[in-house]
Amino acid sequence: MSQRAHRSGATTWSRRILPLVAASTLLAACSGPGTDAPSMQSPVVAGTLDSVAVVTHGSPGDAFWNVVKNGAEAAGKDLGIRVEYNSAGDPGQQAKLIDNAVAQGVGGLVVSMANPEALRPSIEKAVTAGIPVVTINSGESASTEFGAIAHVGQSESLAGQAAGKRLADAGHKKLLCVIHEAGNIGANQRCEGATKAFGNGTTLQVDINNPTDAQSRIKGALEADRSIDAVLTLNSQVAARAVDAVKESQSAAKVATFDLNTDVVDAIRADKLLFAVDQQQFEQGYLPVVMLQLYRTNLNSVGGGAPVQTGPAFVDKNNVDAVAALVAQGTR
């Protein structure tokens, strides 16, 4: 698919959902750090929003974060707002990107917080400067504390519990949950939730930046404990490595994963993956830009102090064909 067609698909999709944004966010699940509406930054006067900086912890070019970027840019195009997207896997570098956006006087800020404490000074600096902040994806428990007006994402603990329950209900007896990124609070919450709901699970730490070693470690864990009959990965790239590790170790374990890409879609179709937990990250890019626009122009807040939930949704053999085209166009 050409880049022009890709942008056209994302924009068409976003134009269809724009009139539904206000209604859908009002129906967001009310689980999170509190139920009190966030206090407005003071002084606040209704005006205009000309620019938004989106700063995430994903690696540049990552399939997951490309969809977030597509969502933010689609919202910017629909609303006539300049959106600049940057990312850095290192929290120190991510903090510098936030500081740069603040120094440039950006109108609104969207930030993912895999390592909240490392970003706290930078986010609080933005709030002090009168720049409204919406957090996304990770760090929902710290969002209100840091002064953000809202959080958009998937409750990682609840999503982990849903995935663990789904595997347990399928009759599996022992779970291996694979954490791919040390220090990522969201990854830990996913595994904690999954093992809590499943009842009999263990975790394995691997490094997503060393996929060959990750596959070797998963294989070793399966060979060391033949009672493991379910593997849950937290990243679509690691999922493919887990599938290969199961084959190499001659294990009978079944694999499920968080997050989607074309490889995951193909693996579900081929019965190599049971399901994917989809947090619908296009919404994590799109909705915050809309929310910042509403806040700046009409002093609206969304969520009532609780996160606006974008997941979990599940993709399996029953709906994978319908979702596949959306994955290909970069909106799922």
pLDDT of 16: 44
276-278, strands of its sheet edge to edge: 201-205, 175-179, 230-233, 254-258, 276-278, 313-315
Strand partners, 152: 136, 308
How is the chain split into domains, by residue range?
Answer: 3-154+280-311+323-329, 156-278
Contact 151, 135 (CB under 8 A): yes
Same topology for domains 3-154+280-311+323-329 and 156-278, yes or no?
yes
pLDDT of 43: 54
Biggest distance spanned by C-alpha atoms of the chain: 64
Does residue 122 carry a pLDDT above 90?
yes
- How far apart CA 152 and CA 319 sit, in angstroms, is 25
Contact 190, 160 (CB under 8 A): yes
- How far apart CA 199 and CA 239 sit, in angstroms, is 22
pLDDT of 44: 64
For residue 115, the SS3 value is coil
pLDDT of 148: 97
- How far apart CA 200 and CA 96 sit, in angstroms, is 41
In the chain, % of residues over pLDDT 90: 80
pLDDT for 206-232, tens place per residue? 999 999 999 999 999 999 999 999 999
Mean pLDDT value across residues 31-56: 67
Q: For the chain, what is the radius of gyration of the CA atoms?
A: 20
Mean pLDDT value across residues 168-191: 94
Mean pLDDT value across residues 235-256: 96
Instruction: Give me the architecture of the 156-278 domain, per CATH.
Output: 3-Layer(aba) Sandwich (3.40)
pLDDT for 182-198, tens place per residue? 888 889 999 999 999 99
pLDDT of 182: 86
Contact 253, 171 (CB under 8 A): no
DSSP states along 44-60? -------EEEEEESSPT
The CATH class for the domain spanning 3-154+280-311+323-329 reads alpha beta
254-264 b/e with 16+ CB inside 10 Å = b?
bbbbbbbbebb
Burial of 84 (C-beta count, 10 Å sphere; 0-12/13-18/19+): middle
Token pair recorded at residue 30: 């009310």
Token pair recorded at residue 213: 């070693």
pLDDT for 60-102, tens place per residue? 888 899 999 999 999 999 999 999 999 999 999 999 999 999 9
Mean pLDDT value across residues 148-173: 97
- How far apart CA 88 and CA 9 sit, in angstroms, is 27
pLDDT for 254-274, tens place per residue? 999 999 999 999 999 999 999
Query: Could you give the C-alpha distances from 251 to 179, 273, 288, 308, in angstroms and in order?
Result: 20, 14, 43, 39
* Mean of pLDDT over the chain: 89
Alpha helices in 199-280 (DSSP H): 211-224, 236-249, 262-269
Query: Could you give the C-alpha distances from 124 to 128, 144, 152, in angstroms and in order?
Result: 6, 11, 18
